[in-house]
């Protein structure tokens, strides 16, 4: 009836309205949930990036240390000289003759019991395919074949120009892949999804094939094999990780020594040689330039084309000679009058790793001039503006002399008898003698720039202090370069991106990164790009891990986040003492507590990571009712998590922790025969030199005690791996399991 | 009262720092601007839970006269500080959320079928996009029963929120 139907209507209307409101509420709640996940994802990404780059800065400090010792230290005894020689002499240039005489593999026998892949030369496509299949099944290639393949690879590489020119007219599309970093799964996936290389399917691999991941050597074998089989269609560019100095730190050296216990050293020596013959860039149809890092405002493709690329053994440390020694081409007229120009003939070379702003930041929107381009990166090496080169050089020399003297005395070496200007004359004479073997500073910088630079959003070109090499280049630099050489696109890699790729500079620069799940399972996708005759980039993305597909976004983010937080807590622990002092400053009433806001400020001022600490705070500090933190017990909790070796007292542990990567690198350099052992004496001397350079306050007794406690077998030698295992997180402990009495 | 004012100023100063941090996470070019499409994420991660409509109003307040697609920090900060000081757009308590699900679950089963959830979320209220719907389904739906047991779902989500 009338009234009942209107009541029904009324109820119906009310119910509908209720449902509407309920739905709206749920949606509102859900959208907030998603937003918080997104924020967590971004913060996690920031953590990984800032820690990664802070690690690279550490590397710079280390080489800072080495380079000055190398250039200025005059050993006054035969022991000193030996010790330093172990650290510094690169076994490189004698390689060439050695390589010709005995490429090493002929004398190695492959036993009948070997079930891995067998190669014969010249390689056939089937061999290359068989390699991929064998590695997929986790077989290992015998050292004999590795060396043989490397030998053949080098023979081929030597014939290639610095800049490979390729064309799309012979094939459908060219596939360009970015960093792989030892992640074999990704390479196999790319071949699976895109097809194996062939004359119809050319590939360009844009550097950073090795380090970090666990299958770097296998990736190299596959890449070199295809390069030999399809020399016209398969191209490799050098990345900054194709460098034996970088490999010492980032895992490739370790991987090779682990997999090839007998012949590893020979393989590494050979690789050192092969890497420096890798081409520097690839040019497609004279229009698309592919190189690993980026460019600078000084990038000169003609010079790059002509220089002897094999003279640049490592981009991290390089003896160079003055530009005036060589008939260098006319330097390009500088567009920016403020820039420090290329080395003039009368000036002494200034080490590249010193901050030298090439131009002042130009954007009016910048809050402060010492902010790094990306919010998540921090700039711990002060970049206070361009200094006159002579003045800079003088200041640096003076402070280094003082420091060196202190180092020498601390390390127990006799003091120098007279004050002297650093023996540059001597260095020059030496340099002249080796003039043939060394690149000029200008040449070296050209290569460093293209292997290490990163794009930034602002115009201009400034030193890349985060990485310690190369520069940050702005859209104007890109534009300038593209116009100068009539190019239309720059493809580069070098930086991990959440989606595996990223366009910038008005889509004139494409970053392509092919190592998916780089920081952690679920952290990012990988991608490759295809270029057809129209040269329009077509991106393909992937994530080579089945398990991530079954995880929800929330779970994926949680896992990655956990990993990032673990790394961050380790970093916090490594700065416990500094944090404690900083906290105390805020605790004016000596209550033992500080506000959470002060906590955030203190942590940033100590760590300089540029992270959003207030956002991260709930994950790092359990909240209390009144928003304060008892900082001592918080630091103790951190320590408890990290301590896995009780014999080493915790303040020393903290210091060692902080410098762990650098120490490992130094050890591996000293351990020149890659035996995995260094003597107690070497350890003590190293630690002394290093700690005094880094201003670490440690008594002699402490060091001796430490050395003795690490010599677990009491045989006067320290097993490097054991020593480093002592500092692993409890959770990531070695496979033996028990970490409390270090095995 | 002077004390009240001082407390408010302290609170505002603290909010400034929080807002700046959140803003910077999305300030990719380090020039104190963010893409307008990220503003919702920033506001929500600062503890607020506005509806889409409320969000649009907020954006209108912080946008330029001639919308550029970017929001500047100078305009965002005062507006957002005020929002935080006034404790606007408070998050939804668990029990209220539960009641909302119960309203939709007219038969009082204790769960909603996948189809029911999709219908409500994409046709009622401020409808989800397909992406949002798929993402919610992936976490919420129990694959065996093809339904969402909302009480458990809410509890699970609440653990994250901590």
Residue A637 backbone phi and psi in degrees, to 5? -60, -45
Q: Is A552 on the interface with B (CB under 8 A)?
A: yes
Active site residues of A: 241
Q: What is the DSSP letter of A604?
A: H
Q: Is A558 helix (H, G, I), strand (E, B) or coil?
A: helix
Q: What is the pLDDT of residues A141-170, one digit of tens each?
A: 999 999 999 999 999 999 999 999 998 886
Q: What is the DSSP letter of A500?
A: S
Q: Is A305 helix (H, G, I), strand (E, B) or coil?
A: helix
Does the model's pTM come out above 0.80? Answer: no
Best of A20, A29, A44, A46 to disrupt the B interface by mutation (most B CBs within 10 Å)?
A29
Question: Residue A58 pairs with which residues in a beta bridge?
Answer: none
The pLDDT of residue A486 = 96
Asked if residue A35 lies in contact with residue A615, where contact means CB atoms within 8 angstroms, the answer is: no
Is B160 in contact with A554 (Cβ distance < 8 A)? yes
Complex prediction ipTM: 0.95
Q: Say if residue A631's pLDDT is above 80.
A: yes
> For chain A, what percent of residues have pLDDT higher than 70?
65
Domain A125-319+440-543 class? alpha beta
What is the least distance, in Å, from the CA of B83 to any CA of chain A? 16
Q: Say if residue A393's pLDDT is above 60.
A: no
Lowest mean per-residue pLDDT among A191-195, A217-221, A686-690, B26-30: A686-690
Q: Say if residue B113's pLDDT is above 60.
A: yes
Asked if residue B126 lies in contact with residue B53, where contact means CB atoms within 8 angstroms, the answer is: yes
Cβ neighbors of A532 (< 8 A, separation 6 or more) are A168, A172, A173, A538
Question: Residue B35 pairs with which residues in a beta bridge?
Answer: B70
Q: Is B138 helix (H, G, I), strand (E, B) or coil?
A: helix
Q: What is the DSSP letter of A288?
A: E
d(C-alpha A335, C-alpha A190), whole Å: 42
Residue with the larger pLDDT of the pair A336 and A4: A4
| Strand pairing report for A501-504 and A454-455 | unpaired
For every residue of A337-385, DSSP letters joined together read: TTS--SPPTTSPPPPTTS---SS----TT-S-TT--SSTT----S----
Other beta carbons less than 10 A from residue B9's beta carbon: 10
The pLDDT of residue A322 = 56
- Exposed, middle or buried: residue A704 (CB in 10 Å: 0-12, 13-18, 19+)? middle
Same fold, B1-86 and B94-158: yes
| Closest residue to A28, CB basis, from B14, B18, B51 | B51
Is A23 in contact with B104 (Cβ distance < 8 A)? yes
Q: Is A301 helix (H, G, I), strand (E, B) or coil?
A: helix
Asked if residue A539 lies in contact with residue A499, where contact means CB atoms within 8 angstroms, the answer is: no
Q: Where are the alpha helices (DSSP H) in A524-588?
A: 546-550, 553-573, 576-586
Is A25 in contact with B25 (Cβ distance < 8 A)? no
Calculate the CA dihedral of residues A734, A738, A739, A742 and round it to 10 degrees.
-100
| Closest residue to B126, CB basis, from A15, A24, A38 | A24
**Sheet of A471-473, strand order:** A454-455, A471-473, A461-463
Residue A465 backbone phi and psi in degrees, to 5? -75, -20
What is the least distance, in Å, from the CA of B60 to any CA of chain A? 19
Q: What is the pLDDT of residues A595-611, one digit of tens each?
A: 988 999 999 999 888 88
Q: Is B126 on the interface with A (CB under 8 A)?
A: yes
Calculate the CA dihedral of residues A473, A475, A477, A480 and round it to 10 degrees.
160
Give the residue carrying structure tokens 């895992």. A251
In Å, how far are A215, A236, A686 from A126, measured between CA atoms?
A: 21, 20, 49
Q: Count how many residues are written for chain B.
A: 162
| Strand pairing report for B147-148 and B112-113 | antiparallel
| Closest residue to B49, CB basis, from A32, A366, A597 | A32
pLDDT confidence bin for A528, thresholds 50/70/90: very high
Domain B1-86 class? mainly alpha
3-state SS of A186-242?
HHHHHHHHHCCCECCECEEECCCCCCCCCCHHHHHHHHHHHHHHCCCCEEECCCCCC
- Residues in A closer than 8 angstroms to B40, CB to CB, are 31, 35
Asked if residue A490 lies in contact with residue A518, where contact means CB atoms within 8 angstroms, the answer is: no
Domain boundaries, chain B: 1-86, 94-158
Of A360, A372, A277, A350, the C-alpha closest to A46 is: A372
Mean pLDDT for B13-17 is 90
Asked if residue A176 lies in contact with residue A235, where contact means CB atoms within 8 angstroms, the answer is: no
For every residue of B39-78, DSSP letters joined together read: HHHHHHHTT----HHHHHHHHHHHS-SS--SEEEHHHHHH
| Closest residue to A20, CB basis, from B43, B101, B124 | B124
Question: Which two structure tokens, joined as six digits, stand for A521?
Answer: 């399972």
| Closest residue to B32, CB basis, from A367, A457, A552 | A367
Q: What is the pLDDT of residues B88-100, one digit of tens each?
A: 999 999 999 999 9
What is the least distance, in Å, from the CA of B140 to any CA of chain A? 10
- Residues of A numbered 447-476 whose beta carbons fall under 8 angstroms of chain B's beta carbons: which are they? 457-458
Handedness of CA A304, A308, A310, A313 (dihedral sign): negative
- Of all residues in chain A, the one with the smallest CA distance to B117 is A23
- Residues in B closer than 8 angstroms to A35, CB to CB, are 40-41, 43-45
Q: Say if residue A388's pLDDT is above 60.
A: no
Cβ neighbors of A25 (< 8 A, separation 6 or more) are B92, B96, B97, B100, B125
Question: Which two structure tokens, joined as six digits, stand for A336?
Answer: 């920016």
- Residues in A closer than 8 angstroms to B138, CB to CB, are 552-553
- Residues in B closer than 8 angstroms to A50, CB to CB, are none
d(C-alpha A550, C-alpha A528), whole Å: 23
Q: Say if residue A56's pLDDT is above 90.
A: no
Q: Is A4 helix (H, G, I), strand (E, B) or coil?
A: helix
Question: Which two structure tokens, joined as six digits, stand for B146?
Answer: 């093809």
- Residues in A closer than 8 angstroms to B103, CB to CB, are 18-19, 21-22
d(C-alpha A129, C-alpha A195), whole Å: 11
H-helix or E-strand containing A286?
none
The pLDDT of residue A415 = 45
Cβ neighbors of B154 (< 8 A, separation 6 or more) are B94, B97, B98, B101
Asked if residue A575 lies in contact with residue A658, where contact means CB atoms within 8 angstroms, the answer is: yes
Which regions of chain A carry the CATH code 1.10.238.10?
Answer: 671-737
Domain B94-158 class? mainly alpha
Question: Which two structure tokens, joined as six digits, stand for A157?
Answer: 């590489």
The pLDDT of residue A640 = 76
Backbone φ/ψ region at A126: left (φ over 0), alpha (ψ -120 to 50), beta: alpha
Asked if residue A662 lies in contact with residue A574, where contact means CB atoms within 8 angstroms, the answer is: no
In Å, how far are A207, A320, A324, A438 from A434, measured between CA atoms?
A: 29, 10, 15, 7
Other beta carbons less than 10 A from residue A341's beta carbon: 14
The pLDDT of residue A564 = 84
Q: What is the pLDDT of residues B35-78, one digit of tens each?
A: 999 999 999 999 999 999 999 999 999 998 888 888 999 999 99
Mean pLDDT for A473-499 is 95
Q: Is B155 on the interface with A (CB under 8 A)?
A: no
What is the least distance, in Å, from the CA of A662 to any CA of chain B? 30
For every residue of A668-718, DSSP letters joined together read: HHH-TT--SEEEHHHHHHHHHHHHHHTT----HHHHHHHHHHH-TTSSSEE
H-helix or E-strand containing A94?
none
Q: What is the DSSP letter of A309?
A: G
In Å, how far are A86, A92, A194, A243 from A225, measured between CA atoms?
A: 34, 24, 18, 20
pLDDT confidence bin for A366, thresholds 50/70/90: very low
Which regions of chain A carry the CATH code 3.60.21.10?
Answer: 125-319+440-543
- Residues of B numbered 61-80 whose beta carbons fall under 8 angstroms of chain A's beta carbons: which are they? none
d(C-alpha A221, C-alpha A212), whole Å: 17
For every residue of A623-660, DSSP letters joined together read: --TTSEEEHHHHHHHHHHHH---TTS-HHHHHHHHHTH
| Strand pairing report for A163-166 and A281-284 | parallel
- Residues of A numbered 8-27 whose beta carbons fall under 8 angstroms of chain B's beta carbons: which are they? 15, 18-27
Is A26 in contact with B121 (Cβ distance < 8 A)? yes
Q: Say if residue A402's pLDDT is above 90.
A: no
The pLDDT of residue A694 = 63
d(C-alpha A585, C-alpha A594), whole Å: 10
- Of all residues in chain A, the one with the smallest CA distance to B31 is A365
Mean pLDDT for A35-53 is 84
Asked if residue A161 lies in contact with residue A498, where contact means CB atoms within 8 angstroms, the answer is: no
What is the architecture, at CATH level 2, of domain A671-737? Orthogonal Bundle (1.10)
Cis peptide before A336 (omega within 30 of 0): no
Q: Is A402 on the interface with B (CB under 8 A)?
A: no
Question: Which two structure tokens, joined as six digits, stand for A274?
Answer: 């092969």
Is A612 in contact with B22 (Cβ distance < 8 A)? yes
- Of all residues in chain A, the one with the smallest CA distance to B49 is A32
The pLDDT of residue A478 = 97
What is the least distance, in Å, from the CA of A20 to any CA of chain B? 5
């Amino acid at each position: 009836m009338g009234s009942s139907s209107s009541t029904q209507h009324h109820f119906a209307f009310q119910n509908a309205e209720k449902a509407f409101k309920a739905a709206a509420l749920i949606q509102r709640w859900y959208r907030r949930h998603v937003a918080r996940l997104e924020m967590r994802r971004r913060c996690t990404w920031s953590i990984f990036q800032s820690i990664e780059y802070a690690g690279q800065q550490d590397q710079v400090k280390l080489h800072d240390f080495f380079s000055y010792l190398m250039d200025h230290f005059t050993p006054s005894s035969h022991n000193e000289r030996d010790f330093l020689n172990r650290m510094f002499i690169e076994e490189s240039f004698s390689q060439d003759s050695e390589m010709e005489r005995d490429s090493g593999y002929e004398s190695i026998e492959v036993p009948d019991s070997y079930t891995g892949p067998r190669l014969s030369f010249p390689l056939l496509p089937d061999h290359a395919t068989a390699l991929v299949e064998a590695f997929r099944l986790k077989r290992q290639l015998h050292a004999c074949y590795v060396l043989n393949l490397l030998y053949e690879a080098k023979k081929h590489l030597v014939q290639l120009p610095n800049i490979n020119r390729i064309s799309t007219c012979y094939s459908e599309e060219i596939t360009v892949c970015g960093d792989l970093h030892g992640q074999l799964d990704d390479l196999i996936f790319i071949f699976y999804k895109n097809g194996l290389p062939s004359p119809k399917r050319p590939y360009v691999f844009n550097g950073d094939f090795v380090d970090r991941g666990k299958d770097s050597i296998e990736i190299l074998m596959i890449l070199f094999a295809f390069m030999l089989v399809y020399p016209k269609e398969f191209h490799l560019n050098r990345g900054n990780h194709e460098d034996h100095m970088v490999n010492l730190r980032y895992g490739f050296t370790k991987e090779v020594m682990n997999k090839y216990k007998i012949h590893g050293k020979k393989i590494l020596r050979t690789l050192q040689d092969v890497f420096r013959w890798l081409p520097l860039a690839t040019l497609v149809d004279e229009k698309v330039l592919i190189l690993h890092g980026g460019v600078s405002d000084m990038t000169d493709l003609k010079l790059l084309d002509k220089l002897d690329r094999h003279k640049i053994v490592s981009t991290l440390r390089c003896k160079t000679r003055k530009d005036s020694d060589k008939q260098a081409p006319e330097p390009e007229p500088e567009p920016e009058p403020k820039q420090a120009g290329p080395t003039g003939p009368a000036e002494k070379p200034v080490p590249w790793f010193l901050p030298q702003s090439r131009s002042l930041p130009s954007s009016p929107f910048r809050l402060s001039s010492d902010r790094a381009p990306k919010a998540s990166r921090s700039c711990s090496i002060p970049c206070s503006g361009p200094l006159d080169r002579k003045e800079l050089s003088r200041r640096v020399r003076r402070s280094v002399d003082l420091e060196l003297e202190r180092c020498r005395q601390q390390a127990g070496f006799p003091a120098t008898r007279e004050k002297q200007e650093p023996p540059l004359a001597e260095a020059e004479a030496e340099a002249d003698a080796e003039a043939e073997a060394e690149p000029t500073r200008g040449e070296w910088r050209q290569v460093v720039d293209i292997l290490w630079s990163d794009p930034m959003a602002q115009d201009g070109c400034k030193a890349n202090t985060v990485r310690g090499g190369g520069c940050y280049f702005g859209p104007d630099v890109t534009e300038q370069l593209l116009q100068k050489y009539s190019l239309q696109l720059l493809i580069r890699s070098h930086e991990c991106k959440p989606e595996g790729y990223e366009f910038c500079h008005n889509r004139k620069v494409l970053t392509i990164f092919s190592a998916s799940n780089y920081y952690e399972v679920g952290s990012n996708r990988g991608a490759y790009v295809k270029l057809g005759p129209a040269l329009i980039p077509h991106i393909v993305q992937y994530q080579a891990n089945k398990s991530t597909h079954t995880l929800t976004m929330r779970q994926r983010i949680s896992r990655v986040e956990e990993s990032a937080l673990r790394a961050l807590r380790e970093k916090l622990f490594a700065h416990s003492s500094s944090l404690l002092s900083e906290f105390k400053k805020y605790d004016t009433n000596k209550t033992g507590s500080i506000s959470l806001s002060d906590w955030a400020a203190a942590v940033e001022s100590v760590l300089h990571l540029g992270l959003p600490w207030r956002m991260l705070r709930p994950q790092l500090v359990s909240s209390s009712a009144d928003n304060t933190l008892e900082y001592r017990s918080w630091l103790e909790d951190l320590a408890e998590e990290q301590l896995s070796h009780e014999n080493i007292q915790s303040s020393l542990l903290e210091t060692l922790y902080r410098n762990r990567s650098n120490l490992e690198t130094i050890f591996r350099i000293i351990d020149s025969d890659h035996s995995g052992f260094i003597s107690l004496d070497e350890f003590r001397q190293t630690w002394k030199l290093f700690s005094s350079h880094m201003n670490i306050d440690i008594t002699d007794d402490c060091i001796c005690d430490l050395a003795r406690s690490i010599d677990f077998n009491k045989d006067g030698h320290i097993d490097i791996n054991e020593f480093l295992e002592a500092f692993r997180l409890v959770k990531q402990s070695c496979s033996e399991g028990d970490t409390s009495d270090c095995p | 009262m002077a004390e009240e004012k001082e407390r408010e100023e302290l609170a505002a100063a603290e909010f400034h720092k929080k807002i700046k941090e959140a803003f910077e996470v999305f300030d990719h070019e380090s020039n104190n601007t963010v893409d307008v499409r990220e503003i919702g994420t920033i506001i929500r991660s600062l503890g607020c839970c506005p509806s889409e409509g409320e969000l649009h109003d907020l954006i209108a307040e912080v946008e330029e006269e001639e919308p550029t697609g970017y929001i500047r920090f100078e305009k965002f900060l005062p507006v957002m500080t005020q929002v935080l000081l006034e404790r606007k757009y408070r998050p939804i308590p668990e029990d209220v959320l539960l009641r909302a699900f119960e309203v939709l679950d007219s038969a009082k089963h204790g769960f909603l079928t996948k189809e029911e959830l999709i219908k409500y979320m994409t046709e009622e209220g401020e409808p989800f996009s397909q992406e949002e719907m798929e993402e919610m389904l992936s976490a919420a739906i129990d694959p065996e029963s093809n339904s969402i047991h909302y009480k458990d779902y809410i509890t699970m989500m609440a653990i994250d929120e901590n």
